[in-house]
Structure 1
């Protein structure tokens, strides 16, 4: 697996396959559990990025010491929604610009969840926004339980904005 630096704190990488001891993003080696820092992870397409995402990031950061954002790649969005609005580098750059965000990883995976990223990053907390309110709503619940990752729901409060709503208004 290769990690390519785009901007300070913004990385592009292909996250797929089984993690092994040579993986380069083992957060426990940098500032994760071994150094008693609390790593919080959030994930999403963030296409386009809006104020609701910022509110979620700010609230998620309060849950720990470091906030890691896993951003779904363009290919992932096209597979799921049929298109993307902003390219992954733009989305990553904007998200990284928020002072509450410490690192951004662009996820390229054949799966429709971020379980592989959770396995590799090993956060203490997996935070979910206002559109996800229970374990039944997220496919990553199983891997979080296996790894002892705390799941927090409704981070950032209720849905104040939606990328889909913005895109719909844009197309009208």
Structure 2
């Protein structure tokens, strides 16, 4: 697994350092948005990631393995430093150890196994800040999509969530209706144009349930040049090519996940499945077109989607360490241990109710304190 190395002089100038911690299981654009908001509150972002053992004790089994979760956080472009095996309950001792001024967390309550607020100590010390939680996505909700394996997530025309029971469990999981905005895309995008001297590399794909394999692929692709342009195919194209219930995440969800990756410079939203002359010329002058080691699925007309770049002599195969990780593997983990994750969903739902009650009580306490 790669280790993130960031060199920053925190002696020459006063740097405002921020602490964020979490599980970051199946890291998605909601996690990335929280890290983006936290980074805006300071200069240097330190992110603590809990171990599998800590999460199992306090929350339940993870979908992604420990090293996969570490790698996912390290690849986020707003993160400066990652602390592995961070404690589940946030302490002042850890904030001080990493020279962090305060801790940032979403505007929801997180509790430990004993029901206590994980952030009570830093809250009492006045070293706690909140960022806005991204609505419409969570690891629990994504697991729910895989358990249901429904096509409903392809049709998000309503602003009202649909709640569907998971067969045999009595648990309910909601299908999110993510509402994309141009503002969110801009927030995630660097907007950097390639320099005339830059060697532009183009890769494309679904990037569904963005994971370690995607990260390693994009990292290797970026090493081939100076500017990485990524094409993300739309939902209908992926469903037509892959069939079944793919993709699990819709186009804009997948675009945001790709944009949050530190190796990516720009994204073509809804890129054509087969690489065209427009793809090679209209956004930037592409020098290399890359694809993973696995054979490409033919386009609907039976043709090789990389026929043009191969003919032009600019096609290159990309091999990487994360080749064994793919979206189907994540789904396999969920389906193989279905009962385990259905039980987890039920516990999460019960815990969410308790946390919501605690949050209401906390707001009432603050309201009463303000009136004194």
In the other structure, the counterpart of 2:226 is: 65
Is 81-90 or 40-49 further displaced after alignment? 81-90
Assess if the C-alpha contact under 8 Å between 2:231 and 2:271 holds in 1: no
More off after superposition, 46-55 vs 149-158: 149-158
1:108 to 1:36, Cα distance in 2 relative to 1, 3 A: closer
Aligned to 2:294: 131
Structure 2: gaps of 5 or more residues: 1-181, 297-302, 337-372
Q: Residues 62 and 72 (structure 1 numbering): CA distance in 2 closer, same or farther, change over 3 Å?
A: same
Q: Among 143, 161, 170, which residue is 2:325 paired with? A: 161
Equivalent position of 1:144 in the other structure: 309
The 1:102/1:40 distance shift into structure 2, 3 A limit, reads same
Aligned counterpart, 1:37? 198
Normalising to structure 2: TM-score of the pair?
0.34
Note if contact 1:124-1:150 (Cα within 8 Å) is conserved in structure 2.
yes
Residue 260 of structure 2 aligns with which residue?
97
CA deviation after TM superposition for structure 1 residue 56, in Å:
0.6
Asked if the contact 1:127/1:153 (under 8 Å) is kept, the reply is yes
Contact 1:41 1:69 in 2 (8 A): yes
* Bigger relative CO (Cα 8 Å, ≥ 6 apart): 1
SS of the residue aligned with 1:125? strand
Whole-angstrom CA distance in 2 between matches of 1:140 and 1:106: 17
| Equivalent-residue separation in structure 1 for 2:269 and 2:209 (angstroms) | 15
Partner SS for 2:270: strand
Alignment coverage as a number of residue pairs: 142
Q: What corresponds to 1:117 in structure 2?
A: 279
The CA distance in 1 between the partners of 2:321 and 2:315, in whole Å, is 15
Residue 48 of structure 1 is matched in structure 2 by 209
d(CA) in 1 for partners of 2:271, 2:201: 20
More strand by share: 1
Deviation by residue 1:27-65 (Cα, 9 ceiling, x = unmatched) = xxx537xx1210001100111211011001001101111
In our comparison, the structure showing a higher alpha carbon Rg is 2
Query: Which secondary structure does the structure 1 equivalent of 2:286 belong to?
Result: coil
- Following TM superposition, where does structure 1 have runs of at least 4 consecutive aligned residues deviating by more than 6 angstroms? none
Residues 10, 92 of structure 1: 8 Å contact kept:
no
- After TM superposition, the score normalised by the length of structure 1 is 0.69
Q: CA RMSD in A?
A: 2.8
Structure 1 residues 131 and 10: alpha-carbon distance in aligned structure 2, compared to 1, 3 A threshold: farther
